[in-house]
Amino acid sequence: MKTGKEDLRVIKTKQNIRSAFMELMKKQPLEKIRVNDICDKALCSRNTFYQHYIDKYELFEQICLECIAELDTAFSVENMDITVNNTLGYGRDIIFAVETKKEEMKNLLLYDDRGYLRNQLYTAAVQKCFEGSLLLAGNNNIDKTEIALNCHYLVSGIIGFVMYWLQFTDLSADEAATLLAKVNSPVAEYSMSLLGDYV
């Protein structure tokens, strides 16, 4: 029983540290946040903080990776039918997945001068898109270079759109998804024809 209590305390402590950090991220850049500030807000000692994280950057990176992991399903194309509507739905799925983490991602992006979240998001999305495209195309004589280039182009446009939407607009998820579908239509048609050659 004692083990369960310790685990619960650890979970609660990490949640408090994370919440305190995110509150501070709403007000100031990562570079200006001190571990003491996080600990004061989380009501924990510096020793407690350092038991869980090497530094504030590791905390930031873990939060970013958790956000990306929660968006993982939205990046997958492997279960998608090869039609223009479903290819356009790929962007829509990402928009609605991001919507569930909108405020957290917005705060992380606002002060992410190193571009960590954007880079990790891009890498995860390209990998999922590429793997899913290969699965959809089967093991035919597929031009992996063309598929990879298409995935990078598709994902960079979607990620750029999402980042701008989060940081600089007041569009709802529905409005953003509709606009993304319009903007992305030519790429979706090309993706469909590219994969359609193999399936």
In tens, the pLDDT along 103-150 reads: 888 888 877 778 888 898 899 888 888 888 888 777 667 788 988 998
Q: What is the mean pLDDT of the chain?
A: 83
CB neighbours of 148 closer than 8 A, spacing ≥ 6?
130
Q: What pTM does this model have?
A: 0.77
pLDDT digits (tens, 9 = 90+) for 161-179: 998 999 899 999 999 998 9
Alpha-carbon distance of 98 to 85, in angstroms, equals 20
pLDDT digits (tens, 9 = 90+) for 63-82: 999 888 888 777 776 545 44
- The label of the residue with tokens 């090497």 reads 54
Q: Is the pLDDT of residue 85 over 80?
A: no
Going by pLDDT thresholds of 50, 70 and 90, the confidence category of residue 187 is confident
Is the pLDDT confidence value at 26 over 50? yes
User: From the CB of residue 7, how many other CB atoms can be counted at a distance below 10 Å?
Assistant: 10
For residue 6, what pLDDT is reported?
61
State the pLDDT at residue 63.
Answer: 92
Q: In this structure, which long-range contacts are made by residues 162-166, counting pairs with CB atoms below 8 Å and at least 24 apart in sequence?
A: 162/94, 162/95, 162/98, 163/109, 163/118, 165/95, 166/98, 166/102, 166/105, 166/106, 166/109
Q: How far apart are CA 100 and CA 80, in angstroms?
A: 22
H-helix or E-strand spanning residue 87: helix 84-99
Q: Mean pLDDT check: name the lowest of 28-32, 87-91, 94-98, 120-124.
A: 87-91
Count how many residues are written for the chain: 199
Name 175's Cβ contacts closer than 8 Å, sequence gap at least 6. none
Using one digit for the tens of pLDDT, what is the confidence trace for 27-68? 888 889 999 999 999 999 999 999 999 999 999 999 999 888
Q: Which long-range contacts (CB under 8 A, 24 or more apart) does 6-11 make?
A: 10/52
